[in-house]
Structure 1
């Protein structure tokens, strides 16, 4: 079976602004029909990567292409719907009129505008001014703009910003459905927990560099949930567990044994075989954002790129 064609390809991508290196030697590919997530704290360089992919910034070095290497600007204009930060929404304009402006630029009918208002659940506020909308509503309106031309490729910067749990679930369903229909999504997020339900591939960025790249499953295996165990002889218990195939057991400074991949029943069986008494067993569940914090520097950082004017959030999809 032949490999899937590439929707996005980034190679050795670097961007500097004066003395600030916002993106440093970043490489990744996103196959068509998948969802990939650029994840990292504010200032990690995620939005700068998206802007270079879209041709809004020129790389200092390296390549960023849409539709695979060599596809160029025409493919990008034809195939991509984008939502960046800032959103590029005029606060004094009414919701319906905002969509109509971009629809006219994209050669899309008003019927498509009505369809998208219903899709993003903004029909009831179509006549309201954008400045009075909640953050979640503005995010959904910006998503509607990105979807106007029914593009196969979506580039979405923090698409869950301001959404509640129900709206996030709807967004995830929509994006997964888009991928199942052959479309491709490249999105960003400041949290791992937000993207784990939908991402096929993770690119974790920290201070402009890639800190992790791979599947969510592989990341989870490297940061598993554990059982924290106090025992009469931790060393004897660890030795028996290793003989039974449970080799990921770490002695914590407080004397507890942290054991991965073993169930409570398997732990009790090993303790019985080792003639070790268990005095305390506590589950330790690792939250995805604890994993992100371990991979990145989450303290305050400078913005990864000079902030553009608000109206330059994105161009109309074509």
Structure 2
């Protein structure tokens, strides 16, 4: 069950709120349609329910608000707009990545591919899907964790009749299994045809709360559509004959030369026009939409029969959302208990006999209702949750597209060419030839590619926010950061080793001899080369995470050799009053059992860190990590 109580959006300056004190229920085992014209506030109401927008009110999903549910994806499945995702990712890859994010087995993706009839499109890219297939994928994402409640924003928009029939058949099956379905629509005929319960809103306020049968009976009245240049004359003739025959006929003037005749038939209207020589351009049976207030146009004076139209004993009374009912709830709302706020500000049980004498009491009721609205809890959007299985999610995100493979292939080819050219000129030492690092470049190609892959790790999250739909950012979770650091570091290390091995093999193949042999200090070179690649990857990752852009991540990588290294060189060139000589021995005194063999490794590490590039990378990574953590803490404090 879904219970929305007092939903009110934050109004903008000189503009009323898009949703104003909206209260309704969606029962389990039923399909509930939230009906309203475009701009009535339907999407805003859904975003308030899902705690995506700021406002007032509260929404209970089986008795708990969304922010108190441990696994929201297992309780609520949502579809708001298009499915976010990298357009080059496959349908199967997208679902498997989201399986890791929601913590469900990867086999669930294959089950949904079969259930959504997407098996033939499993290897198709997201950017090539049609609108109907994209909607199927959106429903698969919403159903991934098998939620109890589905919240869908106009799911049938733009679908063909066949796809629309399939969609509502799926929603009917979900409701038949005890699930709750809430969807928005602007088509009253579709709501009457597919929904068990229809909640109508107008200008953000509750206009009617009816069962599907009652909605179809009271709002969708059969009518005869007539188009004629003599609307006034025909309306008068139809009204006069209805009074003479003691029939209930209502004629409503629509826009232009159109009339809507209620309580009659095409044959009766056509015979009347024929007998009196009235020209008819159109005559057809239709199902009339009476609108939220039950009116479609202006009633033609004198065009109503002697017996007024009677919609039936179960027709709802006119709804006035600004005036509460006897129990303090909006008129037209369900009589069931909506939650702990319904008892506040209740009115007297007896109805007011006359509007003039009841004015003071109505004013007190309105004041009580305003006070109740102010007491509603604030809706504060919470930061998006990170993936439940971050390492598995990050691996599927990185290797689910061809970007990583293309970057590695291109960089290996460029590195081989540069290495051969540098060895031919003989102007670079062997270590620089193996790394393909000419003096003109601030970084070797492999280190720059590692920084690019690291920047994409966060840049793609902000560009295609799969984890943060509608929340404006990527979740700053420690587990997600560690997973990204681990995967980007491992990818950078693999890239560095592949390029170094490829360069050595190319040099031996082209020039022969011992040019491709490893130098004596190969171990320190491998450690330094690996540290440079991993440091660039992490600098790009943290830079993109702080500034929310892949370009900013690349700028952070390039700023190390261009801006930070010269500053470090200037600092190291300054005269030093003291030396760190003998540091391993002093550390051995502090750490009991320090092995003598570790001195060599410690000295080698210190030598690497004392290099300008090593110091610059260390300083840059420390600054970026602090900035990332500070921005994450500031975001949590703001919410």
Q: TM-score, normalised by structure 2?
A: 0.39
> 2:361 aligned with 1:205, yes or no?
no
**Deviates most, 77-86 or 189-198:** 189-198
Please point out which of 96, 99, 105 is paired with 1:100: 96
Among 236, 243, 267, the alignment partner of 1:239 is 243
Cα distance in 2 for partners of 1:257, 1:127 equals 52
Q: 1:135 to 1:218 in 2, by over 3 A?
A: same
Quote the residue 2:372 is aligned against: none
* Distance 1:232-1:13 versus aligned 2 partners, 3 A rule: closer
Kindly tell me: are residues 17 and 207 of structure 1, through their superposed partners in 2, closer, same or farther at Cα, counting changes over 3 Å? same
Query: Residue 203 of structure 1: SS of its match in structure 2?
Result: strand
- The answer as to whether partners of 2:150 and 2:182 remain within 8 angstroms in 1 is yes
Which whole-Å CA distance do the structure 1 matches of 2:50 and 2:85 have between them? 19
Contact 2:58/2:65 (CA < 8 Å) preserved in 1?
no
- The separation in 1 between residues aligned to 2:239 and 2:39, in whole angstroms, is 44
Q: 1:305 maps to what in 2?
A: none
CA contact (8 A) 1:35 1:186 kept: yes
Conserved? CA contact 2:59–2:66, under 8 Å: no
Within the candidate set 212, 215, 221, 1:224 is matched to 221
Cα RMSD (Å): 3.7
Secondary structure of 2:107's counterpart equals helix
Superposed counterparts of 1:216-295, under 5 Å: 216-220=212-216, 221-227=218-224, 234=238, 237-239=241-243, 242=246, 246-250=247-251, 258-260=261-263, 282-286=283-287, 288=289, 291=291
Q: Which residue, 302, 313, 317 being the options, matches 2:469? A: 313
- Tell me which structure has the larger Cα radius of gyration: 2
User: Which digits, 9 at most, give the CA deviation of each residue in 1:225-277, with x for residues without a partner?
Assistant: 224796996456323554xxx535347699x89342x5679x69xx9xxxxx7
CA 192–222 in structure 1, closer or farther in 2 if over 3 Å, else same: closer
Q: Which residue of 2 aligns with 1:13?
A: 7
Task: Confirm or deny: 8 A CA contact 2:266 2:284 kept in the other structure.
Answer: no
Q: Which is bigger in relative contact order (C-alpha 8 A, separation at least 6)?
A: 1
Q: Does 1:67 align with 2:68?
A: no
Count the aligned residue pairs: 284
Alignment counterpart, residue 28 of structure 1, candidates 21, 24, 31: 24
Q: Distance in 1 between matches of 2:142 and 2:463?
A: 19
Q: Which has the higher strand share?
A: 1
* Offset, 1:199: 0.9
Equivalent residues in 2 for 1:95-174, closer than 5 Å: 95-174=91-170
The match for 2:229 is none
Q: Secondary structure at the residue paired with 1:226?
A: strand
SS at match of 2:221: coil
Q: What are the ranges of 5 or more consecutive residues in structure 2 without an aligned counterpart? A: 227-233, 297-461, 472-639
* Cα drift, residue 133 of structure 1: 1.3
State the shift of 1:218 in Å. Answer: 3.2
Is this contact kept in 1: 2:265–2:285, CA < 8 A?
no
- 8 Å Cα contact 1:192/1:292 also seen in 2: no
Q: 1:32 to 1:51 in 2, by over 3 A?
A: same
Contact 2:192 2:213 in 1 (8 A): no
